[in-house]
Amino acid sequence: MVQKLEFSLGKQLGNPLFNFDDCKSYHLNKKNFHEIKPASPKRKIAFVDGGNQEIFHAPNFSIQVNRVYFSMFRNNERILPKSDIPTKIEFISMVSSEYDKDKKEVFYETSIFPSLNDYQEYLPLEKDLSFSSKERAVMLGMQRYDIERVSSIARRFAEWSFSRHVIQNEMEDDDMIVRDGSLQISFANEDKYSEEAFKAAQKENVYFTGLSKTSHLYTDTGLSLIGSIQEFAEECGIDHDLWCYYPIADRWAPTHKAVIMIAKFNSCSDRIFRFEILREQFQKMDEYAILNVLSSIADNSKDFCFPGYPYGLIDADLRARVRSEELDIYRTLILSEISKKPELLNKFNFHVRATDSHDILNNIAGD
């Protein structure tokens, strides 16, 4: 096994690999390392994250609890919203699928129920959450829309939509917003919401960025891109405390309008992360401006618990996460409503399973 490992990892680092025709990747090059200098920019940073968990489940439908959260920091001090936008929105979504035998396609439909009416304005429209499996842009890396994947659709759309409101209500010139994850979209109609968010950011001159804990990018020799760049940094003797690496690839895909970089945000940490900036903004920025944005993140990435990763995202993850303890509460609420209609309850009991708590635990462990 060790031999096997040696072989797999002993490969050439290779070059970034993108399986898209529209993509041109660059060779690894020492010149692409840039030092991030501590600058402590005074800008406001908003961090956005969302979470969802299934509470009921049947082969053809799924009921989810969703939560989207944001927080803002300046000089590493939390700042509270100045508008009346809530810091978190919660809603229940119900996704159902139906197979049309004649057309040989699956229709997906999602309904959403905000836990407070006030949240409605931050949520996507139900009509945008319905589509068929044959529809345009059956998105990347997703050959089929199984119900499990689709069930996160409402949360994803809500993240975009909520981000837009955050930008419009709370952010000013030169501020930035950091999303948990990449700026890539993967569902039909998702672009409608992402584009609105991007437009708002451009209008207010707020940097729209994303930071991914994990990255599914590889090199053409099959190694992980992040690991390769880390190794490459060592090979090249990069001794900057903090650095970032770009460009990695040039890609013009309507589903991914961002420039990818790899960055190390804290000298005390070995971890490096994938960071993205909205392409249209990136192109207008000089190197100083780019590194200045990165140093804003670095400044927020000093927490002992997860050095090198922004505290704002740790916080957002913690608050957005739907915990298994909460699920029972929602289940009970829903069941008590259903039980007012005995026939429905009967049917429900036949076809629907409360998502087993073992499932949930596994999901968490697998995170």
Residues that bind another protein (CB under 8 A): 76, 78, 241, 266-268, 300, 302-305, 307, 311, 315
Q: How far is the CB of 299 from another protein (least distance, A)?
A: 10
Nearest-angstrom CA–CA distance, 80 and 86: 10
Query: Which lies closer to another protein via its Cβ, residue 92 or residue 242?
Result: 242
Query: Shortest distance, CB of residue 114 to another protein, whole angstroms?
Result: 23
Element (H, E) at 251: strand 249-251
- The least distance separating another protein from the CB of residue 308, rounded to whole angstroms, comes to 9
The nearer residue to another protein, 86 or 307, going by C-beta atoms, is 307
- Running DSSP on this structure, what letter comes out for residue 309? S
The nearest distance, CB 70 to another protein, in angstroms, is 16
Cβ-Cβ contacts under 8 Å for 168 (sequence gap 6 or more)? 200, 204
Q: Which is nearer to another protein, 195 or 303 (CB)?
A: 303
Query: What radius of gyration do the chain's Cα atoms show?
Result: 22
Q: How far is the CB of 354 from another protein (least distance, A)?
A: 27
**In angstroms, rounded to a whole number, what is the distance separating the alpha carbons of residues 153 and 148?**
10
Instruction: Report the distance separating Cα 230 and Cα 28, nearest Å.
Output: 11
* Torsion of the alpha carbons at 170, 301, 244 and 242, rounded to the nearest 10: 140
- 260 CB-side CA count, 13 A: 29
> Smaller CB distance to another protein: residue 108 or 309?
309
DSSP string, 115-161: SSGGGGGGSPPGGGG-EETTSS---TT-SS--HHHHTTHHHHHHHHH
To the nearest whole angstrom, how small is the minimum distance from the Cβ of residue 311 to another protein? 4
